[in-house]
Structure 1
Amino acid sequence: MTNTKPGRRARAEQPSEALALAMERAFIVSSSHLASPGNEDLSEFEFALTVVNHAFQRWVVRGMAAANLPDLSPLDALILHSVNHRHRQKSISDLMFTLNLSERHYLNYAMKKLDRLGLITRRRDGKEVFVGATEKGRTVCEDYARIRKVCLLELIPPDRRPGGVKIGEVAKALRVLTGFYEQASRSASSL
């Protein structure tokens, strides 16, 4: 118990009107020089996206480690899950397109690693290479799915609205924003 006068603590916890107003307008950004007036929300979104991306990648690595594959990078794991998707072989171009990869050498490096671990198979059909998950690869993906259910899905509220927004709506908004960033990327290349 602290030595404060009655009522003093309650006043200290109540923000002043000016502070409450400032907090209402405050944006959480990592780079104030990018928070142009009127577009602060985009800078706040980019910072949140950066933080969630790192948290997601950490989760993927730890989830795969719990499934007995501690040496996979986030990209390695995502490629394995994509290859295992619907238990159908995928072409290199399909994987590049699906995962929105622009550099093929990242995919090649990951596939060599996954192949060395016995998680994927590769076959050539003409000029195209097709990749499929091995039984070991499918088992690891299933183990990860079970771990994901226990460690992650249990945290998601039943109404699917963490933070008051449906997860599906966030996903749709992210797909739209992806198009904006892709266009901006093309524009920056031509400068």
Structure 2
Amino acid sequence: MMTNGEGKKIGPVVSAAHLAAGAMPALSEIEFAMTVMNHSFERWMVRCMGAAGVPGLQPTAVQILHAVNHRGREKTLAELCMMFNIEDVHVASYAIKKLAALGLVKTGRRGKEKTVKATADGMAACERYHEVREALLVASAKRLKLDEEALSGIAAVMHALSGQYDQAARSATSL
């Protein structure tokens, strides 16, 4: 919880006080922070890819391009949806179609499954994105002197919480 200059507690900083009034107000703080962070991160991905020479992509398309470039191994549509926890396969399919139309990925088949792999142009776009990211984001973040081990710990907690949200969503669906 934050404090003002006089040591008085301010907060918690949440988007909905009625949700923070429950048994775990810190969860509401995390939810608000994740929401703001998600919008910032999506904006960043789109702008960074634009600066790398590929404007107009949606965040999901940027993520899929990086994923299919990862380790130079093609991925199936199902793997991509699982990897990014995408429930609506059409969202991923649309992103792949857009990437293919731009010549950044090539689609194929492995049995009955659709596969996607980065083309040379797609790999080059990912490399340019990496260069822009290093220059603008990483250099700036390094100046904050963040503890990289602590950041990895935060990522682990976020992954664990995503499992809690998924289970709660399954439960809510059955109500």
CA offset digits 1:89-108 (Å, max 9, x no partner):
11111111111111110011
Return the letter of the residue paired with 1:187.
S
Please give the alpha-carbon distance, in whole angstroms, between the structure 2 residues aligned to 1:175 and 1:126.
Answer: 31
User: What TM-score do the two structures reach when normalised by structure 2?
Assistant: 0.92
In structure 2, the residue matched to 1:64 is: 49
Please give the alpha-carbon distance, in whole angstroms, between the structure 2 residues aligned to 1:125 and 1:183.
Answer: 31
Please give the alpha-carbon distance, in whole angstroms, between the structure 2 residues aligned to 1:51 and 1:188.
Answer: 24
Please give the alpha-carbon distance, in whole angstroms, between the structure 2 residues aligned to 1:155 and 1:169.
Answer: 21
What's the offset of the Cα at 1:122?
0.8
SS of aligned partner of 1:72: coil
SS of aligned partner of 2:115: strand
User: What TM-score do the two structures reach when normalised by structure 1?
Assistant: 0.84
What's the offset of the Cα at 1:32?
1.1
Number of positions where the alignment pairs a residue of Structure 1 with one of Structure 2: 171
In structure 1, the residue matched to 2:153 is: 169
SS of aligned partner of 1:69: coil
CA offset digits 1:46-85 (Å, max 9, x no partner):
0000000000001001100001111101111001111111
Return the letter of the residue paired with 1:146.
E
Return the letter of the residue paired with 2:42.
Q
The 1:91–1:29 alpha-carbon spacing in structure 2 relative to 1, beyond 3 Å, is: same
SS of aligned partner of 2:142: coil
Structure 2 residue 9 is matched with structure 1 residue 22: yes
Return the letter of the residue paired with 2:172.
A
CA offset digits 1:94-129 (Å, max 9, x no partner):
111111111110011111100000000011132111
In structure 2, the residue matched to 1:104 is: 89
* Percent of aligned pairs with the same amino acid: 41
Please give the alpha-carbon distance, in whole angstroms, between the structure 2 residues aligned to 1:174 and 1:151.
Answer: 25
Please give the alpha-carbon distance, in whole angstroms, between the structure 2 residues aligned to 1:65 and 1:53.
Answer: 18
What's the offset of the Cα at 1:151?
0.5
SS of aligned partner of 2:55: coil
Please give the alpha-carbon distance, in whole angstroms, between the structure 2 residues aligned to 1:95 and 1:22.
Answer: 43
What's the offset of the Cα at 1:14?
5.2
SS of aligned partner of 1:152: helix
The 1:22–1:143 alpha-carbon spacing in structure 2 relative to 1, beyond 3 Å, is: same
SS of aligned partner of 2:44: helix
What's the offset of the Cα at 1:36?
2.5
Please give the alpha-carbon distance, in whole angstroms, between the structure 1 residues aligned to 2:114 and 2:59.
Answer: 22
In structure 2, the residue matched to 1:44 is: 29
SS of aligned partner of 2:85: coil
In structure 1, the residue matched to 2:164 is: 180
Structure 2 residue 74 is matched with structure 1 residue 92: no
Return the letter of the residue paired with 1:101.
I
Name the Cα RMSD after superposition: 1.7
Return the letter of the residue paired with 1:91.
T
